[in-house]
Structure 1
Amino acid sequence: AGTLPSIARINGSCMAGGIGLLCMTDLAVAADTVQFGLPEVKIGLFPMQVLSLLQRIVPRRTLREWCLSGEPFGAAEAKEAGLLNHVVPADALDAKTQWLLERLTDKSPTAIRRGKYAMRALEAMSFDEGIAFTEGQIALLAGTQDAKEGLASFNEKRRPVWTGR
C-alpha cells in the first residue's frame, strides 16, 4: 500500500505470485510480448491468495477462466481485463514507464499520500459511508500547505512548489 505511488514494469513473464505482486501496485506497464498466467491448478493447487487481490481488479468471468484453466494469456488480454494501464512494444517499455513516472512526480506529495489512503479506505465502505468519509478528507486536504500552494500557483499562473505538507 504505502504512501508513494508504485509502478510495475513487466517484461518477460508474470505468473502466479508475480501477478499478486502486480496487483499490489498502483499502475502497470507491460511489454506486448509478456505472458501472464495462474498455472497453480495444473499442479493441484489454486491461486488462493492472488485470487483475493485479483477479484477487485478483473471481471468475475475472466478471473474464473484464468484460475480454472491455468492457461497463459497475453498482455493485450491482461490490459483488457484491467490488470495493466499500458501495453507497449518491448523496445518502448522503459520510455513508457518513464513517461508514466513523470506524470506523477510533479504532483503534490501530500495529495497523493492522502489520496492513496482514501482509495484504500473506500474499498471497505458503502457508498453513503464513502461520501461522508471523502467530505472529511476534502476538508483535511484543503488545509494543507500543498493545497494552498496549488491554489496560489494556479491563480498566479506558475508551476507549484510542493512542500509535501
Structure 2
Amino acid sequence: MSTTTTTAVTPESILLRRDDDGVTTLTLNRPQQFNSLSFEMLEALIAAVDEIARDESVRVIVLAGEGKAFCAGHDLKEMRGNHTLEFQQRLFRLCGKFMMKLTELPQPVIARVHSIATAAGCQLVSMCDLAVAADTARFAVSGINVGLFCATPGVGLSRNMGRKEAFEMLVTGEFIDAAEAQRRGLVNRVVPLEQLDAEVARLAASIVAKSPLAIRMGKQMFYKQLEMGLDGAYQLASETMACNAMCEDAAEGIDAFIAKRKPEFKGR
C-alpha cells in the first residue's frame, strides 16, 4: 500500500518534503522568485538532506521546483542587497557545501526538471546523480549576461559534458533545450511534460527495487574513483566489489538469480 506524507521543511514553506514509499521529494517552493537559491533556501536544503542521509527508509531523493521554473539560480536581489565580500563568500561557500552534500548522500538524487534551470539552477541539475527533464525544459549558465562568470556552476557543468561544450555555455550564456542537454550528458531522460512525473517515478522505482546497501557502496565508490588515477580507481573498485560480494544482499541476489526468483534485499 502506498503511503504519502507532505510536510513543510521550514515555517515559511520555502521547501516542501513529500515521502512516498521510499522516495522523498524535496520541492523548492519560491515560485514568485523562480525558486532562486537564497541563503535561507540553501540552509533549508542542507538541513533537509542531513536529516534524509540518516533516514534508512529513504531510498531515493527527487529534487523538484514549484511554479514556472525549476530553479533560476541565486537570488540576485539578495546578492545586491548584501553587497559585501563577506556575504558573497558565505553565500557561495554555503552553495558549494550543499552541492557537495548531494554527492555525499548515500541515496541517489534525481533532478525533476520541468522548466528553466539557469546559473546555479543548472549547477543543481549537474550535481544531482540523475536528471529527468520535460521537453519544455531549458538550461543556461547565464551569469555572464550580467557580468558575472558562472564559476561555481562551471564545476558541475564541466564534469557532465565536454569542456568546449561547457565553456561555450559559460561564455555565451545561451540556452540549450532538453534534447541538447541530453545529448551533452547533462540529463538522462527527456519526456513530454505530461509524462514527467511518471518517468521520474519509473526511474525511482527501478532504484528502490535494488539492494540499498549496494547502492550506498556503489555511489560512494563512483564519486571517489572519478578523482583518482586509473590504477587507484581500480584498486578502490576492486575492494568495494569484494566487500559488497561478502554482504548478505549480494548472497541473496545471486541465490535468487540462480533459483530464478525475485530477491528480497534487506540492506545488509
Q: What is the CA deviation profile of residues 42-93 of structure 1, one whole-angstrom value per residue up to 9, with x for unaligned ones?
A: 1110111111111111111111110000111111111111001111111111
CA distance in structure 2 between the partners assigned to 1:71 and 1:131 by the alignment: 38
The equivalent residue for 2:192 is: 89
2:215 is aligned with 1:112: yes
Question: In proportion to residue count, which structure has more strand?
Answer: 2
Q: CA deviation at 1:26?
A: 1.1
Aligned partner (choices 234, 237, 255) of residue 152 of structure 1? 255
Which residue among 211, 230, 233 is the counterpart of 1:130?
A: 233
Separation in structure 2 between the aligned mates of residue 135 and residue 39 of structure 1, nearest angstrom:
41
Q: What is the match of residue 26 of structure 1?
A: 129
**2:163 is matched with which residue?**
60
Correspondence 1:14 to 2:117: yes
Distance 1:39 1:124 in 2: 28
* TM-score normalised according to structure 2 size: 0.60
Aligned mate of 1:38, from 133, 136, 141: 141
Q: Secondary structure at the match of 2:117?
A: strand
Counterpart Cα distance in 1 of 2:197 and 2:227: 35
Amino acid at match of 1:95: A
- Structure 1 residues 111-142: Cα deviation after superposition (integer angstroms, max 9, x where no partner): 10000011011011111111111111111111
Amino acid at match of 1:21: L
CA shift at 1:94, angstroms?
Answer: 0.9
1:42 is matched by which residue type in structure 2?
Answer: N
The two structures have a TM-score, normalised by structure 1, of 0.96
Partners of 2:175 and 2:234 in 1: how far apart? Answer: 40
1:62 is aligned with what amino acid? E
5+ residue gaps in structure 1? none
Q: Secondary structure of 2:128's partner?
A: coil
Write the letter of the residue equivalent to 1:19.
Answer: C
What is the letter of the counterpart of residue 157 of structure 2? Answer: L
Cα distance between partner residues in 1 of 2:220 and 2:138: 32
Name the aligned partner's letter for residue 116 of structure 1. K
Deviation at 1:8? Answer: 0.7
Structure 2 residue runs of 5 or longer lacking an equivalent are 1-102
Instruction: Kindly state the Cα deviation for residue 153 of structure 1 after the two structures are TM-superposed.
Output: 1.0
Aligned match of 2:28:
none
Percent of aligned positions with the same letter in both sequences?
38
Question: What secondary structure, in the 3-state scheme, does the structure 1 residue paired with 2:111 have?
Answer: strand
Corresponding residue for 2:201?
A: 98
Secondary structure of the 1:80 match is helix
